[in-house]
Amino acid sequence: MEEKHSNSKLLHTPYPKPDAYKALSMPVYHSAAYEFESAEQMELAFTGKAADHTYSRITNPTVQYFEDRVRAITCAFSVTALNSGMAAISNTIITLAKSGSNIITSRHLFGNTYSFFASTLEAFGVEIRFCNLTNVDEVEAHIDANTCAVFLEIITNPQMEVVDLKAISAVAKQKGVPIIADTTIVPFCAFKAKDFGINIEIVSSTKYISGGATSLGGLIIDYCNFDWLSSPKLHVMAKEFGPAAFTAKLRKEIHRNLGSYMTPHAAYMQTLGLETLSLRYERATSTCKQLVERLEKLPEIESVNYTGLHSNKFHDLSKEQFGSRPGAMFTFDLSSRDACFAFMNKLKLIKRATNLFDNKTLAIHPASTIFGTFTAEVRREMNVSDKTIRISVGLEDVDDLFSDIKHAIK
């Protein structure tokens, strides 16, 4: 048979071991530990010479199956599933960074990622070099021998900024620095990170993958396409493990010690979510595109920000990287903060809630919520405006969403 396409591959990924009852859904192995036939077998498992499960903080059959499925469709070398997107980010950075190293990134980041960089990591002697990632020369000028990674989000939220991934990864590659990309906004069914030179892909699977906000989760996807000999921390591991050095450090040390592996129940739900990911993504992004085109024409809205719109300054680059429907999230600006609050309070169908890519459409005023505890100055630096509303589009009918928004901005 020919090589299967990704949806077929995803649905027919074999179980790690055949199920005794031939269950069609992966059984949920709610077990902390696993029994061994002999002391010899136990020694082999605990020293990594046999692939048996020992303890569910390290590996678990249900979670492994979820990881295998993601691996089948991304064609990655390894996938690690953790219990939130933030766990995926923190485990990745702690695998790469040490006191004295620096990370190049932007201030246009998911709120907790920003706080993790600016507060948590700084306290451990890791320097964060915030710069404008849309300016490749600026990125190049910030890289030095202690740079352990360039970290970026493929479409920033709520600024909706798009980085030229091929240009930035070419510079990073030439300087021997890995690119870590948070691709939560455009999932792997629609965006092939590896084709754009990304080395480590991070996804908050809480969003599209969970299948309707059922559970939290995070993925670390390693494409094994970086020479870790140039890494300030991994060059020793690289002599033994070559391009697999990142995964070796992560799986043999960091993730075990931080203890944030995905739970089997979450892995079960996220495996179900994965089965309908591309269908839901198609539907939500198609609704999103129709909605933004209609909203652009309303006089009460100052501007609509979606990189799939021709009016958007990132349109061409976005199209080249993410196709004509780049995600199911957009923002728009009203005349003032008060107008935004009045809008939020008048919504009838759309839910007032944080989160992205639930099956239900969600609205939030980012400046007063996600960024509400930051000072006005930090919000300005992060380009988070008081006049902006963020919408995450779900699976409702587009006419109903349009009516709800139109009524609420009056």
Interacting residues toward ligand PLP by CB under 6 A: 84-86, 110, 113, 153, 157, 182, 184, 204, 206-207, 216, 218, 356
The residue number whose beta carbon is nearest to ligand PLP equals: 85
In whole angstroms, how close is the CB of 210 to ligand PLP at the nearest point?
Answer: 9
> 377, exposed or middle or buried, with CB in 10 Å at 0-12, 13-18, 19+?
exposed
Smaller CB separation from ligand PLP, 10 or 81: 81
Q: Which DSSP letter does residue 45 get?
A: H
* Lookup: tokens for 331: 């923002």
Instruction: Give the separation between CA 326 and CA 309, rounded to whole angstroms.
Output: 10
In whole angstroms, how close is the CB of 366 to ligand PLP at the nearest point?
Answer: 12
Smaller CB separation from ligand PLP, 96 or 364: 364
Count of beta carbons in the 10 Å neighbourhood of residue 329: 25
Instruction: Give the separation between CA 410 and CA 406, rounded to whole angstroms.
Output: 7
Could you give the C-alpha distances from 362 to 55, 110, 216, in angstroms and in order? 38, 17, 17
Helices (H), 302-397: 315-322, 337-346, 376-381
In whole angstroms, how close is the CB of 201 to ligand PLP at the nearest point?
Answer: 12
In whole angstroms, how close is the CB of 95 to ligand PLP at the nearest point?
Answer: 17
Upstream peptide bond of 158 is cis (omega within 30 degrees of 0):
yes
Smaller CB separation from ligand PLP, 104 or 234: 104
Smaller CB separation from ligand PLP, 157 or 287: 157
Smaller CB separation from ligand PLP, 161 or 182: 182
Say whether 260 sits in a helix, a strand or coil.
coil
* Lookup: tokens for 231: 């890494």
The alpha-carbon radius of gyration of the chain (Å, integer) is 22
Smaller CB separation from ligand PLP, 222 or 404: 222
In whole angstroms, how close is the CB of 308 to ligand PLP at the nearest point?
Answer: 17
In whole angstroms, how close is the CB of 96 to ligand PLP at the nearest point?
Answer: 17
In whole angstroms, how close is the CB of 263 to ligand PLP at the nearest point?
Answer: 13
Q: Which residue has the tokens 């709800």?
A: 404
* Lookup: tokens for 97: 């960074």
In whole angstroms, how close is the CB of 240 to ligand PLP at the nearest point?
Answer: 32
Smaller CB separation from ligand PLP, 13 or 270: 270
Smaller CB separation from ligand PLP, 111 or 248: 111
Q: Which of 231, 116, 124, 130 is nearest to 179 (CA)?
A: 231
Dihedral, CA of residue 293, residue 188, residue 313 and residue 391, to nearest 10: 50
